[in-house]
A and B are shown apart, each in its own frame.
Chain A
Amino acid sequence: MPSVLGSVWGPFNLFLEWFGELGLFVGKVLHSAVRRPFEGRELFRQLDEIGSKSLPVVALAGAAIGFVLSLESRSSLVRFGAKSMLPAALVYSIIHETGPIVTGLVVSGRVGAGIGAELGSMKVTEQIDAIEASGVNPYKFLAFTRILACILMLPLLTLAADFCGVLFGWIAETIVEPVSFHRFVTQGFVGAHFNDFLAPTFRTAVFGLIIGTIGCFQGMSTKGGTAGVGLSATSSVVLSSLFVILADVLLVKFILVFFP
């Protein structure tokens, strides 16, 4: 019995410890964020790193999802005699769920791993210590700028994924049965409101917060040598993906309550 308790308590204890350390880390980042200087140059560099450089892969993922969704939905809708609903179903599905979650997961893979590995490598080679020793707060210079860049860029990347999804959904439909893009979009957005667009898109700002925070925390807590860096990169991706999915579930419920 004690061994069973021990085997349950051990991982639970580690989980609580991790959460406690994450809380302390977030506290240090927030404390540093409200003080000058505001690191504008580094923020713009990170906006480019996290935003512009993620755009191709996010657009590709959005396009693939839109294309496949269009082809898959078509056969089902035809079976129920609701073929004309395809544009609306596709747009609703992409804007409400597929676009945001695919963007969140793709960015957590690309950016989460990147931040975890970069900061982990800087930690084990004492570069973070060197930044601190030169009188610069690494929580602001390295962590806050990356987290803020993730928060700002995720909604924009989601818009790009949504656009590519709708565009390639139309291309897939046109291959089977030619229809003008204007007509496809007009049918797609029939009955859609601004709130349909706003809440799911800005939900991804929370995904950005999760990806940036976990990536920076895992990276800056790296221990050991190259193995530690690898572990930080992997754990950044796994944990940020996991928490993005969890946040998605919770936020969908939240959005349904406040934006019915």
Chain B
Amino acid sequence: MTPMGQEVLPDEQESRAVSAIASSPGTSDAPPVVLKSLHQSFGSQVVLDGIDLTVTNGETLAVLGRSGTGKSVLLKLIIGLQQPGSGSILIHGQEVTHIPLDEMNELRKKMGFLFQHAALYDSLTVEQNVAFPLKRHTKMIESEQGARVKELLASVGMEGDLQKMPSDLSGGMQKRVGLARALALDPTILLLDEPTAGLDPITSAEIDELILKLQEEHDIASIVVTHDLHSAKTIADRIALLHEGRVLIEGTFAELEQSDNEFVSEFLKRDS
């Protein structure tokens, strides 16, 4: 395990990522996600300026930071919706930057993605939304798909809303269905983009409990992008705070609280 709760220097970040890669390159016991010197910019605006992060099996990493620091961009880079300016992304030991689309699509089957606004297909029912990945990527017959969809929706407390359209659901319900859809193919990596954004405190707590329950049931490596410190404290094993395109500090919530860095203290104080 890497030292926690300390400010991370760029060289240190790189050496951690390199050692993680070197320990198990391209093997099944490789960490699910390794990011190395990841850079991304849009025009002249540098969003990520050398990100090094590693997420191990069964671990939940929360990525915090001010708005516009590239947290959501980070998730989109991992799942290949954007290509990084430079740097390396390893999924289960396989380099995914600039790989052919067919190979990327195979890897995407191992990843579940919950979008900030759930991004449910609005022309499909709840049942059809959750069945979409199953229809596309499995050889399940109709009845097996139906049973799997019911099981997934039951695990997020939405088993009674199979035939509803996404427009008939509240924000919290949409997130639940989005989570069920993300889990449909039994992913080994779960990427959650602001799972509690825009939800009231009670619904946020319910979503947090749901994520904790799913973590217990499935051995998934999760990366959670959030502004919600309370949620990060509840669901994450480790927290990475992004600032000016870099990982400013990495550690448990308690370790972050003990930091004497001015920005970290200010960030934690503002939320509390």
Contacts and interface: CB of A to CB of B under 8 A. Distances in A.
B122 A137 contact: no
A126 B115 contact: yes
Interface in A205-222: none
B22 interface: no
Contacts of B108: 132-135
Task: Tell me whether chain B's interface is mostly helix, strand or loop, or mixed.
Answer: mixed
A155 to B, nearest CB: 27
Given A133-B111, A133-B113, A126 B119 contact: yes
A186 B109 CA distance: 61
Interface in A109-167: 121-122, 125-127, 129-137
Interface in A35-56: 35, 37
A125 B122 CA distance: 10
A121 B116 CA distance: 16
Contact of A135 (B106, B115, B122): B106
Contacts of A131: 121
B117 interface: yes
Contact of B116 (A122, A126, A134, A135): A126
B137 A130 contact: no
B133 A135 contact: yes
B101 interface: yes
Contact of A126 (B109, B117, B181): B117
A136 B121 CA distance: 13
A125 B117 contact: yes
A129 B122 contact: no
Nearest to B110: A135
B121 A127 contact: yes
Contacts of A35: 102
Given A135-B108, A137-B101, A137-B105, A130 B133 contact: no
A37 B139 CA distance: 13
Interface in A81-129: 121-122, 125-127, 129
B119 A134 contact: no
Interface string B129-164: 000110011000000000000000000000000000
Contacts of B80: 132
Interface string B40-60: 000000000000000000000
B99 interface: no
B119 A129 contact: yes
Interface of B: 76, 79-81, 101-102, 105-106, 108-109, 111, 113, 115-117, 119-122, 132-133, 136-137, 181
23 contacts: A35-B102, A122-B122, A125-B117, A125-B119, A125-B122, A126-B115, A126-B117, A127-B120, A129-B76, A129-B115, A130-B113, A130-B119, A130-B120, A132-B80, A132-B81, A133-B79, A133-B113, A134-B133, A134-B137, A135-B133, A135-B136, A136-B105, A137-B101
